[in-house]
Amino acid sequence: MDDLASIQQTRDLIANAKAAQSLFAGTNQKDVDRIVEAMAKAGLKNSRKLAEMAVKETGIGVVEDKIKKNEFASRNVYEYIKDMKTAGIIREDKENGVIEVGDPMGVLAGIIPTTNPTSTIIFKSIISVKSRNAIVFSPHPRAVECSYETTRIMAEAAESAGAPKGLINCIRLCTKEGTNELMSHRDVDVILATGGSAMVKAAYSSGKPAFGVGPGNVPAFIEKSAEIPKAVCDIITSKSFDNGTICASEQAVITDESIAKEVVREFIKQGGHFVLDPNDLKLLEKTVIQPGGGVNPSVVGKSAEMIAKMAGIKVPEGTRVLIAPLEKTGKDAPLSHEKLCPVLAFYIESSWQAACERSFELLELGGLGHSLVIHSKDDRIIREFALKKPVNRILVNTPSSFGAIGLSTGLQPSLTLGCGTKGGNITSDNVGPQHLINRKRLAYSKEEDSDCTKSAAVYIYSRAEVIKAISDCINA
């Protein structure tokens, strides 16, 4: 019965969204911007409350870090897009006689992960309304209440600023059948999917245009010219942030052999624990990675000390990251895959060229198109290393989690990171409102007179002559 009720609830919410979007589609830029500003302020105001709800309901992550994510989705995203033109004439090329008009796509389906439910809803709500679209969210079953409350806050802020009721919605009776109905419904125009590989694949298989986010298996290379204490600090800070739940967080460290000892000492100094005992390594593998592959949901967003306790491994108090020294990648090295928790694989290579090859291997396990980070002062190596990588974000001397989303770099602030065709995605960009509008183009003739008017006289036919010509054609 829940399945049928969920499907019906989904259909009702889509109908509400369609009606609201029809009203909202003609809203001018000034009014859109006022509504988006109100939503951003509401997200900031409720950042702590929503973070606490998310951690309590899902058991994933760290409250203080989720507050920062909510603030990022509200403040940083808003500051970047606030002056972006999305309604009416958005661009005019007078030289070529082309005018671009922003046109909303319609009703969006927002698929929400359990790892970052509240910040993802804040983000997707803001970029959807900025582009004059409606959105219906399908939350993860383990994050329904915090997702519903976040949606309520966003909707209430939008409506208080003049948006029509029903523009922002959330399925509360969440089932797989309800989500499938959302993604396949005739009145849903575009899917914004954030979640596991299966969910993203389902979005692309729905027959709808979709912006999906591929998995990340981000390698971090510490090259011999790097400032080692800073590089290690960046990696540990990034990997332990919200207990490793950002898909752009580092999954493996690769270091140059000539500096390996110093790198190891620095990791230990800053709270990293190397799992050297072969039996302990096996215990960690079994705890973090499921027998058939994929991360164990029980460790996602848990602290390093908690994961060590689950595995039966003794670690020093204050351990921030567990580090597994490996020689291989793939099936024989389970911890070389993506791990949404503070566990890192660790490789020592003889040169930056060898590190390059190791990075390829790691990315092919599930991170193609996503991100890579290099710590180095040698610009030649940085460029050589970057040019050969099948990723769309090459981050330099910065924490990967923060750099990829545009917090510590100049990239567009976003919580939906496209992986391009290498990752099976339609875009390689950090997704924003500009991806959620159709662009109408008025294209004026570049010549004052066409060739036909220059070369031929114009003859105006009388009505009688037109009728005779038609009759001749019929009787021929």
pLDDT tens for the 476 residues of the chain, in order? 678 999 999 999 999 999 999 999 999 999 999 999 999 999 999 999 999 999 999 999 999 999 999 999 999 999 999 999 999 999 999 999 999 999 999 999 999 999 999 999 999 999 999 999 999 999 999 999 999 999 999 999 999 999 999 999 999 998 999 999 999 999 999 999 887 667 777 777 788 888 877 678 999 999 999 999 999 999 999 999 999 999 999 999 999 999 999 999 999 999 999 999 999 999 999 999 999 889 999 999 999 999 999 999 999 999 999 999 999 999 899 999 999 999 999 999 999 999 999 999 999 998 888 999 999 999 999 998 888 788 999 999 999 999 999 999 999 999 999 988 888 888 999 999 999 999 999 999 887 555 554 545 556 677 777 777 888 887 76
User: DSSP assignment, residue 106?
Assistant: -
Q: Is there a catalytic annotation at residue 247?
A: yes
* pLDDT, tens only, 228-237: 999 999 999 9
* Rounded (10°) angle between helices 47-58 and 144-160: 160
pLDDT the model gives residue 216: 85
Residue among 216, 215, 220, 214 nearest 359 (CA): 220
Q: Say if strands 98-104 and 437-443 run parallel, antiparallel, or are unpaired.
A: antiparallel
* pLDDT, tens only, 88-144: 999 999 999 999 999 999 999 999 999 999 999 999 999 999 999 999 999 999 999
305 close to 345: Cβ distance less than 8 angstroms? no
Q: Say if strands 98-104 and 88-93 run parallel, antiparallel, or are unpaired.
A: antiparallel
Residue among 114, 2, 129, 104 nearest 55 (CA): 114
How far, in Å, CA of 107 to CA of 128, rounded?
9
Instruction: Give pTM, 2 decimals.
Output: 0.92
Q: Which residues pair with 99 in a beta bridge?
A: 92, 442
Q: DSSP string of 155-184?
A: HHHHHHTTPPTTSEEE-SS--HHHHHHHHH
54 close to 66: Cβ distance less than 8 angstroms? yes
How far, in Å, CA of 336 to CA of 405, rounded?
23
Question: For the chain, which residues make up each domain, given as ranges?
Answer: 2-213+430-438, 218-413
The CA-based angle 385-386-387, given to 5 degrees, is 100
CA 341, 346, 351, 357 torsion-angle sign: negative
How far, in Å, CA of 195 to CA of 201, rounded?
10
Residue with tokens 């000034």: 30
Q: Which CATH class is domain 218-413?
A: alpha beta
Amino acid code (one letter) for 11:
R
pLDDT the model gives residue 214: 66
pLDDT the model gives residue 363: 93
**Hey, what are 29's tokens?**
């830029």
User: DSSP assignment, residue 296?
Assistant: -
Q: Say if strands 218-222 and 321-325 run parallel, antiparallel, or are unpaired.
A: unpaired
Could you tell me the CA-to-CA distances from 273 to 246, 250, 324, 343, 346 in Å, in that order?
A: 21, 16, 9, 10, 11
Q: Which residues pair with 349 in a beta bridge?
A: 256
**Hey, what are 80's tokens?**
């970047």
Q: What is the CATH number of domain 2-213+430-438?
A: 3.40.605.10
pLDDT the model gives residue 201: 75
355 close to 258: Cβ distance less than 8 angstroms? no
Give me the catalytic one of 174, 247, 341, 419.
247
How far, in Å, CA of 216 to CA of 459, rounded?
67
Amino acid code (one letter) for 467:
I
How far, in Å, CA of 439 to CA of 100, rounded?
6
Residue among 29, 179, 191 nearest 106 (CA): 191
pLDDT the model gives residue 450: 52
pLDDT the model gives residue 198: 72
pLDDT the model gives residue 452: 52
Amino acid code (one letter) for 121:
I
